[in-house]
Structure 1
């Protein structure tokens, strides 16, 4: 059994949800009490991260996704604000993760299975819907590396949701002068999945049809 078959659809989807969190910059805005506890410098860093995320209209990047056991899959990530995302895995991973902005869908063509998670009416909505009135907070994670900002995002009212740590690096050509380099999803069992991005391309023309999928009951391969 190859490594990709050992990584479940739920594992793929959990890490993919972290990408959706970057399309909901309000998820990084702290409520008054936690924000007040942070230093002015930390608040400035969070504000910079929010501005960088809000500055993305469209983005495409290559990604590698690694689980806690070191198993890795790769592919291409396409983002389009607001809330649309597509994880196009390499051809030997017959799966797809896509969101049209309202629903996150995991498609497994090998077993002809589709799992849908409504963003607004599920725990995902706490992080993915910037208009939803829920408790959200972001906190700066200290880093010893110059030019790196790490922000942990979680919803204290939804302990079943993973915590996502978004890692940005200084890059003048990126929106807001910061580029999202990676993120780590950590669930309640402390299982970690890491997604690393490279080769970022911004401002591409991306059709809305990119965020659709073929029903696996009518085809055995991804679009």
Structure 2
């Protein structure tokens, strides 16, 4: 199942994008591509995007992503879905308003940490994943000292208009409980003003259930 989802992600990422750079005459080295990904991550301070989420059971949800570094992200699901995922700078929360349940993880123990920490050095924990398309860059990030933190595979398309010449297309995350989530991004807007208020949320354990 993981291989099929991952293959689908690569196929989606390989689709033509506006501003895509021309294929280089000589293939870049793995080290240079990892350095390019590091520069891209450091060059993104905020992002808004539409997302499509697929879980390991094949269930698909859509919504809006809002990200602000350091440590803040919000997955606002489509209307009618009583779920919310949000990080407030310290912790990552998953809220199910239908049953008034809140789950919490420290950001540092989530695969999402590499996207939320602008100072994170991925050089010792990232591995380039070969792709058939030279305009697709795929990188798996996993801390060998903390396998319980899970892993995340980031997928980029080469795009001259993006930071460091890349545009993030999405990722495949596998957390410490073996829960796999595939995220596909579209309509990305980078380094736009984002209010800290975007990451506030209502605790259903103390209030009426609403997103």
Same structural fold, with TM-score higher than 0.5 when normalized by the shorter chain: yes
Distance in 1 (alpha carbons) for counterparts of 2:191 and 2:152: 25
Taking the aligned partners of 1:126 and 1:62, their CA distance within structure 2 comes to 20
How do 1:24-43 residues align onto structure 2 when only pairs under 5 Å count? 41-43=29-31
2:163 to 168, 171, 175: 175
After TM superposition, list the pairs within 5 Å mapping 1:107-122 onto structure 2. 107-120=95-108, 122=109
SS in 2 for 1:160: helix
Q: Tell me the equivalent position of 1:219.
A: 208
Q: Which runs of 5+ in 1 are unaligned?
A: 1-39
> Superposed, which structure 2 residues align to 1:65-214 within 5 Å?
65-120=53-108, 122=109, 127=114, 136-187=124-175, 192-214=180-202
TM-score (norm 2): 0.77
> How far did residue 129 of structure 1 move?
5.3
CA deviation map 1:72-103 (0-9, x unaligned): 01100011111210000111211111111211
Q: CA deviation at 1:49?
A: 0.5
d(CA) in 1 for partners of 2:41 and 2:123? Answer: 20
1:49 to 19, 37, 56: 37
Q: Confirm or deny: 8 A CA contact 1:51 1:176 kept in the other structure.
A: yes
The CA distance in 2 between the partners of 1:104 and 1:136, in whole Å, is 24
- The partner residue of 2:50 within 30, 48, 62 is 62
Q: How many pairs align?
A: 182
In the alignment, is the contact (CA less than 8 A) between 1:119 and 1:129 conserved in 2? no
Alpha carbon RMSD of aligned pairs, Å? Answer: 2.6
Aligned to 1:27: none
Q: Deviations over 1:102-142 (max 9, x none)?
A: 1111111111112222235x466975656689995101001
TM-score (norm 1): 0.73
Q: CA deviation at 1:161?
A: 2.5
User: Do 1:73 and 1:89's aligned partners in 2 also have CA atoms closer than 8 Å?
Assistant: yes
Consecutive unaligned residues of structure 2, counting only runs of 5 or more, are: 1-27
